[in-house]
Chains A and B, each alone.
Chain A
Amino acid sequence: MGEPDRIPDTPILDRQRQLRGYRMNKMAMGLGDPVNREAFKADEPAYLDRFGLSEEEKTAVLTRNWKEMIRLGGNLFFVLKITAVDPIRITEIGAHQVDMDHESFLRDRLGKKV
């Protein structure tokens, strides 16, 4: 992203970010349809190509690099649908974004007893 977040470390879906992430978000939105979920499972690169993702965006999705997906304008509510096809907990996505292991994230950020 060009400009820094207006509130530090807090990516909100502003004009710049939603424009940047539009294709990735549209791709993920498609996973609300069971036919597309099957297509994603069967040939993920081909499914991503249908939505015109760049190589950088494809790599972020294919490697499940959540931090990078968000950096590229992906919005959590969209990319979360990937976890319906390839399960991972939302708290693991959180931990990944802040470079913490899951247990430390639960304990230090969310105050859970682990």
Chain B
Amino acid sequence: MARLVGGMGTSHVPSIGVALDKGLRDTPEWKPFFDGYVPAQEWVKEHKPDVAVVVFNDHYNAMFLDRVPTFGVGCAEEYQIVDEGWGPRAIPSFTGHSAFSWHLVDSLVENHFDPEIIQEIKVDHGLQVPLELFWGKPEQEWPVKVVPIFVNVLQYPIPLPARLYDLGKQLGRAIESYDSDEKFVVLGTGGLSHQLQGARAGFTNPPADRQFLIDIAQNPDKLAGWSREQYVETFGGEGAELIMWLVMRGALSPDVVARFSHYFVPASMTGAGMIVLENA
């Protein structure tokens, strides 16, 4: 059976991709941020996962408000780079894993989760940036297949944190019941604290972010029990998206070991966090 070798969490701020495109990696502003990912990149090289299930949200680049799935599972063999307004970024398109995606959809529906089934979609920075941070930007092709799970974290009602945690538990079971020798990782993306709109724009909450990086490993039940309003108040209007990390955490065992974590503020307007977890 397939094996889940780790769970990773990371911010997916678009400026990170822009910084890489402009060659700013080693500038004083960005170097401390990118250097924080080096141990995680070495972990990836050591474990060589075959498949990354990436939990993220489209930022109204591939989807509009005309149809808003609460959850969607990408079932394509390829995901091209979407045009976010500046033209598609010059990075390779992503290879999907249709066979596992359909297994996942079957498994979810049989266990009372009913995602939208998505067979043609382009992906934005929400998926691109986490892959670049953990795997590095490839010249030719990505060394890992991706299975995107889209979550609506923008238009209310967004799903409850507890629901995402449960989705993760089911995702973990789907991986462990998949007949294959492949190694899987799950990526929870987004956050940490930031707010881009309104009179509270520019809000960040570094103490809460640092506590989140501890609790996501040690106290996920506590985080799953928070209300959406608590997330918005604590992490900002857009920072509430970090509920998507709960899917990653739910896929892992109750007891985990945090291999690495890193925090940097601000990346653009965001408290940027990273963690790599393994089952204990």
Enumerate chain A interface residues (CB-CB to B < 8 A). 5-15, 18, 22, 25-26, 29, 31-34, 37, 70, 75-78, 80-81, 83-85, 90-91, 93-95, 97-98, 105, 109-112
Please, which residues of chain A bring their CB within 8 A of the CB of B156?
12-15
Determine the interface band of chain B, counting residues with CB < 8 A from chain A: 35 or more
Enumerate chain B interface residues (CB-CB to A < 8 A). 15, 59-61, 64-65, 82-87, 154-156, 195-204, 229, 232-233, 236-238, 265-266, 268-269
Q: Is the CB of A32 within 8 A of B269?
A: no
Per DSSP, chain B at the interface is: loop
User: With A25-B60, A78-B60, A84-B86 in contact, is A111–B265 under 8 Å at CB?
Assistant: yes
User: With A7-B229, A15-B156 in contact, is A32–B195 under 8 Å at CB?
Assistant: no
Q: Please tell me which one of the listed residues A10, A13, A77, A83 contacts residue B195 in the complex, with CB atoms under 8 A apart.
A: A10
User: With A10-B236, A13-B155, A75-B60 in contact, is A109–B83 under 8 Å at CB?
Assistant: no
Q: Is the CB of B266 within 8 A of A111?
A: yes
CA distance A107 to B42 in the complex (A): 35
Q: Is the CB of A10 within 8 A of B232?
A: yes
**Besides the contacts A18-B65, A75-B154, A84-B84, what 4 more A-B pairs have beta carbons closer than 8 Å?**
A7-B232, A33-B83, A90-B268, A91-B269
Please, which residues of chain B bring their CB within 8 A of the CB of A70?
197-198
Q: Is the CB of A94 within 8 A of B201?
A: yes
Q: Is the CB of B60 within 8 A of A77?
A: yes
